[in-house]
Amino acid sequence: MLAAEKHRSTHMAPIGIGIAFFVTQLTEIKLPGAYNPTEPPPKYAALSYTWGDTAVTVPLICNGMEMQITQNLSEALHMTLRVNPYEFLWVDQICINQEDNAEKAGQVKRMALIYHRAQTVLAWIGPEEHDTGLAVEWIEKVASLTKGFGNDVFRDNNNSEDRRKVETVENLSSIQSDDLGVPFSNDEAWRAFSSFYDRPWFQRFWVVQEALPAREAQVVCGSHSVDWHALKAAAAWYTFKAGLIQPRYDSTRQIDGIKYTRAMNLPWSFRLGSEFLAGLLGQNVRPVYRWNFESLLTTFRGRLAGDARDKVFALLGISTLASNAEDGEQESPLLQPNYDKSVMEVYRDATRGLIESDSRFHGALAILKHAVPRSAEPGWPSWVPDWRITDMSDVGYALPAYDGRVGNRAEHRCVAPGPGEDNQLHVEGHILGKVVHRSEYHHISDLIMNIRAQRDECRSVYSERFSTDKYLHTPDNVDTAWAMSLQGGQLQKGFAAKETTPAQYGEILVDILETMMLPRVTPEQEKHRQELINPYMNDYGLDPDWLEYCRLRYCERRWFVTEEGHIGIGNWKMEEGDMVALLWGLDVACVLRPVLGKPDAYEFVGEAYCHGAQGAVEGLGKDGEGKSLGTKMVLV
């Protein structure tokens, strides 16, 4: 088995011209560590490609012995050797013993370092088509409009002027595209541009750690190649500027490689630590950049992995968790690549490892938000995200975090699971109450069409239970608490700019929605509707984007009332009898389902907003460490 600090690189040459047969000699190379390198790094290129059909293989002579490689790799080697200026090439299929799980796991840990230390990454995306040359030409032309966006890691931060210019939506006109030299009327060029991204390589999961940290990379397609950074920049420009022609081409791609590529433009605000170490100045190698693990998981969950466990393993090496380990911290055994674990065990341990690593920060339980939709696999813990799920259509927009120093933002206490408790997560928090009423509707369209009846229903439920129209947990009345809950507690910017109060908003919400739903088929109807809407725009700050703001916050949620008189909104799968709670380390409220026969055990249902919840914990005491005291619970 290969030593942990080493990797193999291969020196190869084709036998004859046009014959799919290679000889190769493997060489063990020791890479300098991520920090404080003491020796010049070896010069080599690393190959990024899709394996293709593993049943279709060709022979390769390796160290004097024959081995089989996939046909796709053979094609990749033939075409990339011509653009590889270095003696050595790293190829996973050849340089890692695929039959040795221990070696495979050890090298998976170091693959991010292998690709980052490579002088260049060569990405083979497949054979060329008749229009590949035109596609490359057009990609380079479109990328030039971004003026180097994405090329300079130090300049391309989250707030850079270049990023703001490129990632601001501008639906350019045909005339503007003509002036820029990329006319939208050139159907042949734009069709070639679009089809270039329609290849399996773009959705492959391992591409993230192979290409994301790469300083230099070439994407090779047949006899053509294009700079990887240009490919990213062109995808970003198309996404944010070419809205006029997107319907023409987006539906023609089987693989949305433009979307996957644009997502790789992560700003370096996620690259934490090493780029700021003064000790790296004058060193022989570049610093290694890291990204927030949770951000990586959520950003790239839609990519495809042949082995679902790689949706975690492929990201560990470029995450801040790996950075912590290299910086002298003890690496958690939960975060070690281990192909002997099941998918559930890998995802569970990664979730727990992330929570434990973030336990000293507020928001340590933020990863729980991604456990919705819940896995359909029997025995899957409710608090563990299933990263195989990519359809998020029934998940509402993220709710705003609570502001201020409230108990739900206190530090999470890590409690190690006992024997037989691996699928349990010990948490603390405050139960706000049991749901005694939930709304019938969870789609925004249904809510709007029945908005007055829904408001009246909330009034009636509250009056019958609590004999008051005053909200019990804030100075608001019930209408205000209900209206603000539908917004997740935050007024849209237009209302805020006009200094509209929550009380005023509660008074006009129903009238605004009913006015907006008036018919507008004829010019007379449109004129009448607009005349009624104008006062809300002029006097209160109604914004054209307000309805979309409402949709994002309410869609796939229900409003509820608890037995303690709280009003809020929660995940649409909530039921009467569920609990609404605040968990220390989670910056929003949540819905928990009691487990029958297991006191203090709950299933995690999803996020929630509860009006006035901040006040519910202000009176709770503190322990000797200054952490809020709460109720101990177990998530299963």
Per-residue pLDDT of 67-80, as tens digits, reads: 888 999 988 988 88
The domain boundary residue, chosen from 263, 290, 317: 263
Examine residue 624 and state whether it is found in any structural domain, yes or no. Answer: no
Residue 506 is predicted with a pLDDT of 96
Examine residue 214 and state whether it is found in any structural domain, yes or no. Answer: no
Residue 84 is predicted with a pLDDT of 84
Residues 242 and 271 in one domain: no
Residues 259 and 276 in one domain: no
Burial class (CB in 10 A: 0-12, 13-18, 19+), 90: buried
* Tokens representing residue 33 in the block: 């560590």
> Looking at beta carbons, which pairs linking 16-22 to residues 24 or more positions away fall under 8 Å?
20/58, 20/71, 20/74, 20/75, 20/78, 21/58, 21/59, 21/60, 21/61, 22/60, 22/61, 22/74, 22/77
Residues 351-376, mean pLDDT to the nearest whole number: 83
Examine residue 573 and state whether it is found in any structural domain, yes or no. Answer: yes
Q: Please tell me the least confidently modeled range out of 143-152, 353-362, 368-377.
A: 353-362
Q: Please tell me the least confidently modeled range out of 7-11, 28-32, 42-46, 49-53.
A: 7-11
Q: What is the Cα–Cα distance from 336 to 313, expressed in whole angstroms?
A: 8
> 497-507, pLDDT tens digit by residue?
999 999 999 99
- Supply angle C-alpha 530, 533, 535, rounded to 5: 120
pLDDT more than 90, % of the chain: 52
Q: Please tell me the least confidently modeled range out of 44-53, 225-234, 247-256, 269-278.
A: 269-278
Residues 104 and 163 in one domain: no
From the centroid of its chain, how far is CA 298?
A: 2
Residues 439 and 462 in one domain: yes
Examine residue 388 and state whether it is found in any structural domain, yes or no. Answer: no
Examine residue 623 and state whether it is found in any structural domain, yes or no. Answer: no
> 73-105, pLDDT tens digit by residue?
988 988 888 888 888 888 888 888 777 777 777
Residues 438 and 559 in one domain: yes
Residue 275 is predicted with a pLDDT of 44
Q: End-to-end CA distance of the chain: give it in Å, rounded.
A: 38
Residues 343 and 479 in one domain: no
Q: What is the Cα–Cα distance from 439 to 442, expressed in whole angstroms?
A: 7
> 442-455, pLDDT tens digit by residue?
988 899 999 999 99
On the question of pLDDT at 388 being above 60, the answer is yes
Number of domains in the chain: 4
Burial class (CB in 10 A: 0-12, 13-18, 19+), 596: exposed
For residue 540, what are the β-bridge partners? none
CA distances from 565 to 136, 458, 476, 577, 579 (A): 62, 11, 13, 14, 13
Residue 400 is predicted with a pLDDT of 84
On the question of pLDDT at 326 being above 90, the answer is no
Residue 115 is predicted with a pLDDT of 87
Residues 305 and 162 in one domain: no
Residues 270 and 253 in one domain: no
The domain boundary residue, chosen from 87, 118, 149: 118
pLDDT more than 70, % of the chain: 82
- Asked if residues 230 and 143 have their Cβ atoms less than 8 Å apart, the reply is yes
Residues 84 and 142 in one domain: no
Q: Please tell me the least confidently modeled range out of 174-183, 326-335, 462-471.
A: 326-335
Residues 474 and 557 in one domain: yes
Examine residue 365 and state whether it is found in any structural domain, yes or no. Answer: no
Instruction: Domain of residue 180: give its range.
Output: 129-196+228-263
Residue 288 is predicted with a pLDDT of 62
Residue 462 is predicted with a pLDDT of 97
- Asked if residues 392 and 406 have their Cβ atoms less than 8 Å apart, the reply is no
Examine residue 382 and state whether it is found in any structural domain, yes or no. Answer: no
> 248-271, pLDDT tens digit by residue?
999 889 999 999 999 998 765 455
Residues 314 and 353 in one domain: yes
Residue 391 is predicted with a pLDDT of 87
Residues 530-536, mean pLDDT to the nearest whole number: 96
Examine residue 217 and state whether it is found in any structural domain, yes or no. Answer: no
The pLDDT-based confidence of 549 (bands split at 50, 70, 90) is confident
Residue 324 is predicted with a pLDDT of 52
* DSSP label of 274: G
| pTM for this entry | 0.86
Residue 58 is predicted with a pLDDT of 87
Residues 480 and 562 in one domain: yes
On the question of pLDDT at 280 being above 80, the answer is no
